[in-house]
Amino acid sequence: MKSRFLFPYWCKFIGYFLLLVDIPFIIIKNDDLTGMGFLNDEQTFFIATIVTLITAILLVAFSKEKVEDEQIAQLRLDSLQWAIYLNYIILIICFLTYKGDNVRSVLHFNLKFPLIFFILRFRWMIFRRNWAARKEARLS
């Protein structure tokens, strides 16, 4: 089965690299970098980190596997469906419980969470599939 909307396999490594580069900047935040003259504007820093993070997560999430078959495609679809369901359940709960300025942080969370949960669930399902295959091979 040929999937038309997936990045090549090697893009996953670019995504992991971008993620590793971006994580320290997310942790350090803009306050620690303004004295150094690096991305002086807070809005510019925020946009740069978010764009890098989303690009990295998209590349990791939607890159082909070495062997892309129907079972992997089904796992990918199921994981994406779970991520969307869970995202909207959490979004509804947050909108019902948070008021005022906290809604903005809910929307920031909502921007990243579906892809992160998709990656975690998809990788977990592939791990379980491979573990079951190895276990079956040892038994036979």
Instruction: Give pLDDT tens digits for 62-72.
Output: 999 998 889 99
Same structural domain for residues 87 and 117? yes
- Going by pLDDT thresholds of 50, 70 and 90, the confidence category of residue 120 is very high
For 2-29, write each residue's pLDDT tens digit: 667 899 999 999 999 999 999 888 787 6
Query: What confidence score (pLDDT) does residue 5 get?
Result: 87
Instruction: Assess whether pLDDT exceeds 70 at residue 59.
Output: yes
Query: What confidence score (pLDDT) does residue 25 get?
Result: 81
Query: What confidence score (pLDDT) does residue 12 get?
Result: 95
User: How many separate domains does the chain show?
Assistant: 2
Same structural domain for residues 56 and 78? no
Looking at every residue in the chain, the average pLDDT score rounds to 86
For 40-54, write each residue's pLDDT tens digit: 667 777 888 889 999
Q: pLDDT exceeding 70 applies to what percent of the chain?
A: 89
Contact 22, 49 (CB under 8 A): yes
Same structural domain for residues 50 and 107? no
Range of the domain at 100: 69-140
Same structural domain for residues 73 and 135? yes
Q: What is the mean pLDDT of the segment spanning 126-136? A: 92
Query: What confidence score (pLDDT) does residue 138 get?
Result: 87
Same structural domain for residues 13 and 37? yes
